[in-house]
Amino acid sequence: MQASTGLFDPERFVPAESNAAVTIAVALHKSPPVESSLFEKFLRRLSVHSAPKLFAAVAKSELRGGYDNYFEVMREGATRQLLWLLNSARGGGIVLTASGSLPSDHIAAARDELDWGTDWIGVTAGSDSQLAVLVEAAKTLRFVRKRRGTLILTRLGASVLAYEGELWRHIVTAMPLGKGELAQEAGRILFLTLAAGLSESERSEVMIEGLTALGWSTTDGTRLGDDDWTWMVRDTLVYLRMIGAIVSNPLDQHVSADPEWGRRFARMVLSM
Protein backbone atom coordinates (compact mmCIF):
# COMPACT_ATOMS: atom_id res chain seq x y z
CA MET A 1 0.00 0.00 0.00
CA GLN A 2 1.34 3.41 -0.93
CA ALA A 3 0.00 6.88 -0.22
CA SER A 4 0.27 9.76 -2.66
CA THR A 5 3.24 12.08 -2.19
CA GLY A 6 1.13 15.14 -2.98
CA LEU A 7 3.89 16.60 -5.21
CA PHE A 8 2.96 18.86 -8.14
CA ASP A 9 2.79 16.99 -11.46
CA PRO A 10 2.80 19.40 -14.46
CA GLU A 11 1.66 16.64 -16.83
CA ARG A 12 -1.66 16.23 -15.03
CA PHE A 13 -2.28 19.85 -14.10
CA VAL A 14 -6.00 20.61 -14.27
CA PRO A 15 -7.06 24.18 -13.42
CA ALA A 16 -10.40 23.14 -11.90
CA GLU A 17 -8.70 20.61 -9.62
CA SER A 18 -6.08 23.13 -8.56
CA ASN A 19 -8.72 25.76 -7.80
CA ALA A 20 -10.63 23.24 -5.72
CA ALA A 21 -7.43 22.33 -3.86
CA VAL A 22 -6.80 25.99 -3.05
CA THR A 23 -10.39 26.42 -1.80
CA ILE A 24 -10.07 23.36 0.43
CA ALA A 25 -6.68 24.53 1.73
CA VAL A 26 -8.17 27.89 2.75
CA ALA A 27 -11.09 26.17 4.48
CA LEU A 28 -8.72 23.79 6.30
CA HIS A 29 -6.68 26.75 7.49
CA LYS A 30 -9.81 28.17 9.10
CA SER A 31 -10.97 24.83 10.54
CA PRO A 32 -8.00 22.44 10.83
CA PRO A 33 -8.00 19.06 12.58
CA VAL A 34 -6.99 19.07 16.23
CA GLU A 35 -3.22 19.33 16.52
CA SER A 36 -1.45 16.09 17.54
CA SER A 37 -4.67 14.08 17.28
CA LEU A 38 -4.56 10.63 15.69
CA PHE A 39 -6.77 11.96 12.91
CA GLU A 40 -4.29 14.73 12.08
CA LYS A 41 -1.54 12.11 11.76
CA PHE A 42 -3.86 10.02 9.61
CA LEU A 43 -4.48 12.93 7.22
CA ARG A 44 -0.76 13.40 6.65
CA ARG A 45 -0.77 10.16 4.68
CA LEU A 46 -3.10 11.70 2.08
CA SER A 47 -3.10 14.68 -0.25
CA VAL A 48 -5.87 16.94 -1.50
CA HIS A 49 -5.24 15.72 -5.06
CA SER A 50 -5.61 12.05 -4.08
CA ALA A 51 -8.73 12.55 -1.95
CA PRO A 52 -10.40 15.92 -2.68
CA LYS A 53 -13.85 14.88 -1.42
CA LEU A 54 -12.37 13.61 1.83
CA PHE A 55 -10.50 16.86 2.46
CA ALA A 56 -13.60 18.86 1.56
CA ALA A 57 -15.38 16.87 4.28
CA VAL A 58 -12.61 17.77 6.74
CA ALA A 59 -13.14 21.44 5.93
CA LYS A 60 -16.88 21.05 6.70
CA SER A 61 -16.40 19.14 9.94
CA GLU A 62 -15.49 22.04 12.23
CA LEU A 63 -13.18 19.72 14.14
CA ARG A 64 -12.18 22.44 16.60
CA GLY A 65 -15.75 23.53 17.25
CA GLY A 66 -17.34 23.62 20.68
CA TYR A 67 -19.92 21.30 22.22
CA ASP A 68 -21.91 23.83 24.29
CA ASN A 69 -25.43 22.63 25.12
CA TYR A 70 -25.05 19.44 23.09
CA PHE A 71 -22.63 17.75 25.47
CA GLU A 72 -25.20 16.03 27.69
CA VAL A 73 -27.32 15.01 24.69
CA MET A 74 -24.19 13.72 22.97
CA ARG A 75 -23.03 11.72 25.99
CA GLU A 76 -26.47 10.23 26.59
CA GLY A 77 -26.82 9.25 22.94
CA ALA A 78 -23.46 7.47 22.89
CA THR A 79 -23.85 5.70 26.25
CA ARG A 80 -27.56 5.10 26.86
CA GLN A 81 -27.86 1.60 25.38
CA LEU A 82 -24.60 0.36 26.87
CA LEU A 83 -25.50 1.78 30.26
CA TRP A 84 -28.82 -0.10 30.15
CA LEU A 85 -27.07 -3.39 29.32
CA LEU A 86 -24.37 -2.98 31.98
CA ASN A 87 -26.92 -2.14 34.65
CA SER A 88 -28.96 -5.17 33.58
CA ALA A 89 -25.89 -7.38 34.04
CA ARG A 90 -25.16 -6.15 37.58
CA GLY A 91 -25.00 -8.70 40.35
CA GLY A 92 -25.35 -12.21 39.00
CA GLY A 93 -25.44 -11.25 35.33
CA ILE A 94 -28.02 -12.13 32.66
CA VAL A 95 -28.81 -15.80 32.14
CA LEU A 96 -28.92 -16.36 28.38
CA THR A 97 -31.24 -18.63 26.41
CA ALA A 98 -30.07 -21.98 25.03
CA SER A 99 -29.25 -20.22 21.75
CA GLY A 100 -27.12 -17.64 23.56
CA SER A 101 -29.57 -14.75 23.19
CA LEU A 102 -30.95 -12.42 25.84
CA PRO A 103 -34.16 -13.71 27.47
CA SER A 104 -37.59 -12.45 26.46
CA ASP A 105 -38.03 -10.19 29.50
CA HIS A 106 -34.87 -8.28 28.55
CA ILE A 107 -36.08 -7.97 24.96
CA ALA A 108 -39.34 -6.46 26.20
CA ALA A 109 -37.47 -4.15 28.59
CA ALA A 110 -35.20 -2.97 25.78
CA ARG A 111 -38.22 -2.05 23.65
CA ASP A 112 -39.79 -0.12 26.52
CA GLU A 113 -36.74 1.58 27.99
CA LEU A 114 -34.68 2.22 24.87
CA ASP A 115 -37.54 3.22 22.56
CA TRP A 116 -36.60 0.52 20.07
CA GLY A 117 -39.35 -0.44 17.69
CA THR A 118 -39.99 -3.83 16.07
CA ASP A 119 -38.37 -3.08 12.70
CA TRP A 120 -34.90 -4.31 13.69
CA ILE A 121 -34.92 -5.70 17.20
CA GLY A 122 -36.64 -9.00 16.35
CA VAL A 123 -38.64 -11.22 18.68
CA THR A 124 -35.77 -13.65 19.18
CA ALA A 125 -33.03 -11.00 19.31
CA GLY A 126 -31.11 -12.79 16.57
CA SER A 127 -27.76 -11.91 15.04
CA ASP A 128 -29.11 -8.89 13.14
CA SER A 129 -31.09 -7.40 16.02
CA GLN A 130 -30.20 -4.24 17.86
CA LEU A 131 -29.78 -6.22 21.07
CA ALA A 132 -27.32 -8.60 19.44
CA VAL A 133 -25.36 -5.62 18.12
CA LEU A 134 -25.44 -4.05 21.59
CA VAL A 135 -24.09 -7.20 23.26
CA GLU A 136 -21.32 -7.58 20.66
CA ALA A 137 -20.33 -3.92 21.08
CA ALA A 138 -20.16 -4.37 24.86
CA LYS A 139 -17.99 -7.47 24.38
CA THR A 140 -15.73 -5.64 21.91
CA LEU A 141 -15.32 -2.81 24.42
CA ARG A 142 -14.49 -5.46 27.06
CA PHE A 143 -17.39 -4.46 29.32
CA VAL A 144 -19.04 -7.90 29.41
CA ARG A 145 -18.21 -11.54 28.72
CA LYS A 146 -20.03 -14.84 28.63
CA ARG A 147 -19.41 -17.39 31.38
CA ARG A 148 -21.34 -20.66 31.65
CA GLY A 149 -24.32 -19.38 29.74
CA THR A 150 -24.47 -16.07 31.60
CA LEU A 151 -23.53 -12.59 30.42
CA ILE A 152 -21.52 -10.98 33.23
CA LEU A 153 -19.67 -7.72 33.78
CA THR A 154 -15.91 -7.67 33.44
CA ARG A 155 -13.79 -5.70 35.88
CA LEU A 156 -13.73 -2.88 33.34
CA GLY A 157 -17.50 -3.04 32.96
CA ALA A 158 -17.97 -2.78 36.72
CA SER A 159 -15.46 0.06 36.85
CA VAL A 160 -17.16 2.22 34.20
CA LEU A 161 -20.44 1.82 36.09
CA ALA A 162 -18.89 2.78 39.41
CA TYR A 163 -17.32 6.06 38.31
CA GLU A 164 -19.38 8.78 36.64
CA GLY A 165 -18.00 9.82 33.28
CA GLU A 166 -15.75 6.76 32.93
CA LEU A 167 -18.08 5.01 30.48
CA TRP A 168 -18.18 8.08 28.23
CA ARG A 169 -14.40 8.55 28.36
CA HIS A 170 -13.75 4.91 27.52
CA ILE A 171 -16.16 4.89 24.57
CA VAL A 172 -14.72 8.04 23.01
CA THR A 173 -11.13 6.85 23.30
CA ALA A 174 -11.97 3.32 22.09
CA MET A 175 -13.42 4.52 18.78
CA PRO A 176 -13.27 3.45 16.03
CA LEU A 177 -14.03 -0.21 16.73
CA GLY A 178 -12.44 -3.13 14.94
CA LYS A 179 -9.02 -4.74 14.94
CA GLY A 180 -6.33 -4.10 12.37
CA GLU A 181 -5.14 -1.17 10.30
CA LEU A 182 -7.95 -1.43 7.74
CA ALA A 183 -10.76 -1.30 10.34
CA GLN A 184 -9.13 1.65 12.08
CA GLU A 185 -8.53 3.68 8.92
CA ALA A 186 -11.99 2.96 7.55
CA GLY A 187 -13.46 3.86 10.94
CA ARG A 188 -11.77 7.25 11.01
CA ILE A 189 -13.10 8.06 7.54
CA LEU A 190 -16.58 6.97 8.66
CA PHE A 191 -16.42 9.30 11.68
CA LEU A 192 -15.30 12.08 9.35
CA THR A 193 -18.36 11.60 7.13
CA LEU A 194 -20.54 11.81 10.24
CA ALA A 195 -18.78 14.91 11.57
CA ALA A 196 -19.19 16.60 8.19
CA GLY A 197 -22.93 15.93 8.09
CA LEU A 198 -22.72 14.02 4.80
CA SER A 199 -25.64 12.21 3.22
CA GLU A 200 -25.59 8.46 2.56
CA SER A 201 -24.51 8.92 -1.06
CA GLU A 202 -21.81 11.43 -0.11
CA ARG A 203 -20.61 9.12 2.69
CA SER A 204 -20.16 6.27 0.23
CA GLU A 205 -18.18 8.46 -2.18
CA VAL A 206 -15.82 9.68 0.56
CA MET A 207 -15.35 6.19 2.02
CA ILE A 208 -14.42 4.73 -1.36
CA GLU A 209 -12.20 7.66 -2.32
CA GLY A 210 -10.36 7.72 1.00
CA LEU A 211 -9.75 3.98 1.23
CA THR A 212 -8.63 3.86 -2.41
CA ALA A 213 -6.23 6.77 -1.84
CA LEU A 214 -4.75 4.86 1.10
CA GLY A 215 -4.08 1.91 -1.19
CA TRP A 216 -6.89 -0.45 -0.18
CA SER A 217 -8.63 -2.45 -2.90
CA THR A 218 -10.65 -5.64 -3.37
CA THR A 219 -8.87 -9.00 -3.41
CA ASP A 220 -9.07 -9.10 -7.20
CA GLY A 221 -7.89 -5.50 -7.57
CA THR A 222 -11.19 -4.04 -8.75
CA ARG A 223 -12.61 -0.72 -7.57
CA LEU A 224 -14.15 -0.68 -4.12
CA GLY A 225 -17.95 -0.62 -3.90
CA ASP A 226 -20.56 -0.01 -1.20
CA ASP A 227 -20.49 -3.62 0.00
CA ASP A 228 -16.71 -3.48 0.34
CA TRP A 229 -16.40 -0.39 2.53
CA THR A 230 -19.39 -1.31 4.71
CA TRP A 231 -17.71 -4.65 5.40
CA MET A 232 -14.37 -2.95 6.13
CA VAL A 233 -15.94 -0.66 8.73
CA ARG A 234 -18.67 -3.02 9.96
CA ASP A 235 -17.98 -2.93 13.73
CA THR A 236 -18.01 0.85 13.92
CA LEU A 237 -20.89 1.28 11.47
CA VAL A 238 -23.27 -1.11 13.25
CA TYR A 239 -22.46 0.52 16.59
CA LEU A 240 -23.19 4.02 15.27
CA ARG A 241 -26.43 2.78 13.69
CA MET A 242 -27.41 0.99 16.88
CA ILE A 243 -27.07 4.11 19.05
CA GLY A 244 -28.80 6.25 16.41
CA ALA A 245 -25.82 8.43 15.49
CA ILE A 246 -26.04 7.33 11.84
CA VAL A 247 -29.57 7.10 10.46
CA SER A 248 -30.66 5.92 7.02
CA ASN A 249 -32.93 8.24 5.07
CA PRO A 250 -35.37 6.02 3.15
CA LEU A 251 -36.87 9.01 1.33
CA ASP A 252 -33.67 10.53 -0.09
CA GLN A 253 -30.15 9.14 0.26
CA HIS A 254 -28.81 12.51 -0.87
CA VAL A 255 -30.08 14.23 2.30
CA SER A 256 -28.52 13.47 5.66
CA ALA A 257 -30.81 12.22 8.45
CA ASP A 258 -28.06 11.95 11.09
CA PRO A 259 -28.72 13.87 14.33
CA GLU A 260 -26.64 16.88 15.33
CA TRP A 261 -25.47 15.16 18.52
CA GLY A 262 -24.05 12.34 16.39
CA ARG A 263 -22.07 14.82 14.34
CA ARG A 264 -20.61 16.37 17.48
CA PHE A 265 -19.86 12.95 18.94
CA ALA A 266 -17.86 12.15 15.79
CA ARG A 267 -16.07 15.48 16.08
CA MET A 268 -14.98 14.65 19.61
CA VAL A 269 -13.76 11.17 18.60
CA LEU A 270 -11.65 12.71 15.84
CA SER A 271 -10.10 15.16 18.30
CA MET A 272 -8.54 12.38 20.39
Q: What is residue 119's predicted lDDT score, i.e. its pLDDT?
A: 54
- Tell me what pLDDT residue 6 has: 45
Report the distance separating Cα 1 and Cα 62, nearest Å: 30
Q: In this structure, are strands 94-95 and 144-147 parallel, antiparallel, or unpaired?
A: unpaired
Given a cut of 80, whether residue 34 has pLDDT beyond it is no
Specify the amino acid at residue 91: G
- DSSP 8-class letter at 64: T
For range 1-5, the mean pLDDT: 39
Whether 126 shows a pLDDT value over 80: the answer reads no
Q: What is the pLDDT of residues 188-241, one digit of tens each?
A: 999 999 999 999 999 999 999 999 999 999 888 888 999 999 999 999 999 999
- Distance, in Å, from the CA atom of 184 to the CA atom of 189, rounded to the nearest integer, reads 9
Confidence of residue 66 (pLDDT cuts 50, 70, 90): low
- More confidently predicted of 26 and 180: 180
| pLDDT at residue 5 is higher than 70 | no
Interatomic CA distance for residues 210 and 26, integer angstroms: 20
Q: Which helix (H) or strand (E) holds 95?
A: strand 94-95
Residue 14's pLDDT is: 55
Does the structure show a pLDDT above 50 at 45?
A: yes
For residue 207, the Cα-to-chain-centroid distance in whole angstroms is: 12
Average pLDDT for residues 123-131, to the nearest whole number? 59
pLDDT at 169 over 50: yes
> How large is the C-alpha radius of gyration of the chain?
20
What is the pLDDT of the chain when averaged over all its residues? 85
| Pairwise pLDDT comparison (25 vs 181), residue with the higher score | 181
CA distances in angstroms from 40 to 46, 188, 216, listed in the order given: 11, 11, 20
| Model confidence band, residue 245 (pLDDT cutoffs 50, 70, 90) | very high
pLDDT score for 207: 97
For the chain, list the domains and their CATH numbers.
Answer: 17-65+175-270 (no CATH), 69-173 (1.10.10)
